[in-house]
Amino acid sequence: MDELPIGRRVAYWRGRRKMSQQVFADRLGKSKSWVDKVERGVRRLDKFSVLYEIADILQMDVQLLLGKDPERRADALNCIDQVEVQEIRAALERYDSMSAYFDAAPYPPPLDDMRKAVNHAWLTYQYGRYGMLTRALPKLLRDAQAADAAYDGEHAAEAAHLLGQVYQIASSVLRKLGECELAWLAADRSMAVAQRADDPLLAGIATTRVCNALVAMGRARPALELNVQIANRLAPGSSEVSPAQLSVYGMLLLQGAMAASRIGDSASVDDLINGAAEAAARLGGDHNHYWTSFGPTNVELHRAAAAVELGDGGRAVEVHQLRIVEPAFNALLPERRAHHLLDIARGYAQIGDVANAGEALLRGDRLAASEIRCRPIAHEVMSDILRRTRGAPPSPIAELAEHMGVGV
C-alpha cells in the first residue's frame, strides 16, 4: 500500500468507505472530474490543506493517506471510528423480519455457520479485541437478522436466540466504546428477540445489557429497579436449579449493585452483592454460562467496582488485595481481568496512589489493550495520573498515554 501513488491511495480508501466518486466530490466541494484525475494521477495533490480535508472526509490519519506510519491515536488500531459506528447503526436499523412478512424471506445463512460466528464474536469480545469485533459486527448483524427473518418451524427459536446474542454482543462493545444510545438500542432489540426465542435466561441477560446502557446514560435508578425485578422472577428456589439459571440470576444482582452504587445506595449494594455471593457459592466455581463469567471471583470484582463507584477507593484496593485469589483471577478471560484492573486503577487514583494506578493500567493494557486504550473512563484515569505525577511520568506510562492519545 505504501508504494502506491497518493491518487491510488485516495481511490482505495474512498472504496473502503463505500463512497462513489460523485459523493466524495460533493463532500469535498470539487467536481467528479477533479476526483477522477487525482485518482488516476493526472492531477497532483500538493496542498496540505486539501490533503487534510480529504483525510477528514475519509475518516483516517493523514499520515496513512501519505503512505507513512500513522500518528498514534486511540482509534487508530484497537478502537472504533465513526464510519464503523454508522455501519453498525445501519445494521441495527434494518427490519428484515417485517420485510419477510410481506415478501419472500431472504436466503438465510446456515444455522451451523451462524452458531460458529456468534461463538467467535463472543470470544472476540471476551478477549478484549474490540476493533476486530466492531469491524465484523455489521455483517454479523445482517446475517443474524436474515436468519431470524427466514427460518420458521423448529429452527425459528434458535435463529431468534442467535440474533438475540448478536444484539447483546453489539450492546456490550458499543457501551464500552462510549456509544451509549446505540448500546441501548441493541440491548432493547435483544430483549424483544429473547421473548420470541422463548428463553427466560436469554431475556435475563438481555436485561443486564439494557440496564448497563441505562446506567451509562445516567439513568441508574430505573436500571436498578429493572435488574431487581427480573432477578426476583428468576430467583432459584430451594430445589435443584441449573448452573445457567444461577449464573444469570447472579449477574442480574451484580448489575443491580452497580446501578445502586451510581446513586450512592450502599445498603442496596451490599444486599445485592451478598445475594450474588450466595448464588456463586451454590454454583461452586467460576463458569461462563450464557457468557456471564459468573462465579465467586466475578462477585469480588464487582464488589471492588461498586466500591470505586461509591468513591471508596481504599475499600476497592482492600478487596483487590485480600479477597481476590490470584489463580482464580488469572483463569478469567482477558476482558474481565483488564476491566477489573481499570477499576482498581480508579481506586488507587481515588486514594492518591498514582504509581499503583499507573501500574494497574499497564497490567490491563498487557492483557487486553482495547479495554484500556479505547474506553473513555480509562482516558480519564490516565489524565488524572499524568496531572498528579510530579515531574516527568515513567516512560512506560508516557508511552501508554501516547498510545491512548492522552497528552502528557
pLDDT of 178 reads 87
Domain final position from 171, 198, 225: 198
pLDDT in tens, 32-74: 999 999 998 889 887 767 887 887 787 666 666 777 644 444 3
Q: What does the mean pLDDT of the chain come to?
A: 89
pLDDT in tens, 168-221: 999 999 999 888 999 999 999 999 999 999 999 999 999 999 999 999 999 999
Residue 170 domain-assigned? yes
List Cα–Cα distances, 101 to 97, 163, 397, in angstroms: 6, 17, 56
pLDDT of 330 reads 94
CA–CA separation, 33 and 102 (whole Å): 42
- The answer on 53 and 33 residing in a single domain is yes
- The answer on 163 and 117 residing in a single domain is yes
Q: Which of 25-39, 87-101, 202-216, 317-331 has the lowest mean pLDDT?
A: 87-101
- The answer on 80 and 173 residing in a single domain is yes
Please state the domain count of the chain.
3
Say if residues 114 and 147 touch (Cβ distance below 8 Å).
yes
pLDDT of 76 reads 40
- The answer on 155 and 57 residing in a single domain is no
pLDDT at 86 over 90: no
- The answer on 98 and 23 residing in a single domain is no
pLDDT band at 224 (very low <50, low <70, confident <90, very high): very high
Domain final position from 179, 198, 217: 198
**Residue 287 DSSP code:** -
pLDDT band at 322 (very low <50, low <70, confident <90, very high): very high
pLDDT in tens, 274-320: 999 999 999 999 999 999 999 999 999 999 999 999 999 999 999 99
pLDDT of 166 reads 97
Residue 284 domain-assigned? no
CA–CA separation, 124 and 121 (whole Å): 5
List Cα–Cα distances, 180 to 172, 187, 359, in angstroms: 10, 10, 28
Q: CATH no. for residue 51? A: 1.10.260.40
pTM, full prediction: 0.79
CA R_g for the chain: 23
Q: Closest Cα partner for 336 from 284, 386, 282, 299? A: 299
- The answer on 151 and 53 residing in a single domain is no
∠ CA 305-306-308, nearest 5°, is: 65
Tell me the torsion sign for CA atoms 298, 300, 302, 308.
negative
pLDDT at 347 over 60: yes
Domain containing residue 355: 333-408
- The answer on 104 and 48 residing in a single domain is no
pLDDT in tens, 230-258: 999 999 987 789 999 999 999 999 999 99
Residue 36, SS3 per DSSP: helix
pLDDT in tens, 111-152: 999 999 999 999 999 999 998 898 889 999 999 999 998 998
Residue 94 domain-assigned? yes
- The answer on 391 and 351 residing in a single domain is yes
